[in-house]
Amino acid sequence: MKYLVVLALVLALSSALITVPIRKPQENTLQKLLRVNSLKGNIQALLNKLFPSNMVSSWPEVKINNYMDAQYFGEVSIGTPAQTFTVIFDTGSSNLWVPSSECGLLSVACQLHKKYNAKKSKTYQKNGTEFSIKYGSGSVAGHWSEDTVSLAGLEATGVLFGEATTLNGVSFLASKFDGILGMAFSAISIDHIPPVFQVLMTEGKVSDGSFSFFLTDKAGEEGSALVLGGVDPQFAASDFKYYPVTLEAWWVIAVSKVTLGNKTYQLTNSIVDTGTSVLVGPKAIVSDMVKSLPNKGAQAVDCSTISKFPNLTFTIGGDDYVLAPTDYILQVTAQGQTECVLGIQGMDLPSPIDNAFILGDSFIHKFYTHFDMANKRVGFALAKHD
């Protein structure tokens, strides 16, 4: 069992970092093959993450993310005494949900994961309002409950979270995470529920109202970190540069252009999303840009040709952020064989976030990312990998 690390920086209480180990279980062959196959064709799963059907009505009804491809999991505790769950920390959504002990026996996926038991928590408060979230490869349904939520030792009280009583879809059968902890803004929260990090801010548990993600650059390595309350200088190989959030919903920033080799395309926005593994851009742009690649735009890549691929550059506020081909081509080994997959996918988003790229984990691997909720900005520094 591999271990990653979640770090919590509690500026209001101490200058020291609080570390909590989180598991990154080894994938078996089936899980690896499912992940590769979903990268090749499961665009609908990406489309269904950012905009669930029961989101606040003022936002378009689409949604992005492929949770089966998410690599980084951490622990969150709910209730008193604490019940611990493995979750994806997702900056592309805003709600927390975990499986419920009320799951029916016919919900096989639910039975394979840890389940919250309200009867065992002294701080549980009933809510009961029903919710449902549809994903491209499945769905989650249940009801809201209220309880204390603890993240890296920081307690948020009276948090409304989802008790999932139904989990449908093969992705949930094969996944190693129990649930999702959204870290975007409250504007996209289903039923207007305050996100966990916002509750921590309101209760004064994190003084500067920000968090940051450092992701190791190779699957299976230890050392990935979520830092609550600021940034940890040990993860940065350069100074941070900051860009204002242009839409307080997802973490949206202005990106002027993307360049692949000698082709340049004008952009408007980008969404910085830890819950998406790959880079996702407008269909027309992605379709045209990948035609010039050595693999002629195919999703599969001959691993021996990676060095022949060009750099991919995003221009943000006049600053260039360069990804090498090893950054945007995913390599997955199963049954002793390595398969390479192009980590760039095409998808059109509606206004007001059309003409946008989603900067997922392959970007955050390269650049240590600071999500500053209090000051409505996102910062990037070159990640310091040994």
Mean pLDDT, rounded, for 315-327: 97
Judged on CB neighbours under 10 Å (0-12, 13-18, 19+), 304 is exposed
Q: Specify the higher pLDDT residue, 246 or 25.
A: 246
Alpha helices in 221-281 (DSSP H): none
Q: Give yes or no: 273 in active site.
A: yes
234-251 average pLDDT score: 95
Domains of the chain: 2-214 (2.40.70.10), 234-380 (2.40.70.10)
* Cα end-to-end distance, the chain, whole Å: 22
pLDDT value of position 48? 55
DSSP code, position 233: G
| Catalytic residue (one of 90, 147, 327, 372) | 90
Distance CA 213, CA 226 (A): 5
| DSSP notation for 319-339 | EEEEE-HHHHEEEEEETTEEE
Q: In whole angstroms, give the CA distance from residue 102 to residue 159.
A: 19
Mean pLDDT of the chain: 82
**Model pLDDT for residues 356-375, shown as the tens digit of each residue:** 999 998 999 999 999 999 99
pLDDT at 2: 35
In whole angstroms, give the CA distance from residue 278 to residue 295: 18
Question: Confidence class of residue 215 from pLDDT cuts 50, 70 and 90?
Answer: confident
Instruction: Tell me the pTM.
Output: 0.86
pLDDT of residue 308: 96
How many C-beta neighbours within 10 Å does residue 89 have? 23
The confidence band for 226, taking pLDDT boundaries of 50, 70 and 90, is: confident
| Model confidence pLDDT, tens digit, residues 106-121 | 788 888 899 999 999 9
Q: Is the pLDDT of residue 241 over 50?
A: yes
- Concerning whether 217 is annotated as a catalytic residue, the answer is no
% of the chain surpassing 90 pLDDT: 54
Under the banding of pLDDT at 50, 70 and 90, the label for residue 137 is low
What are the tens digits of pLDDT across the range 275-309? 888 899 999 999 999 998 999 888 889 999 999 99
Please pick, among 273, 327, 361, 372, the residue that the annotation labels catalytic.
Answer: 273
DSSP annotation of 129: E
pLDDT in tens, 158-189: 999 999 999 887 777 778 789 999 999 999 99
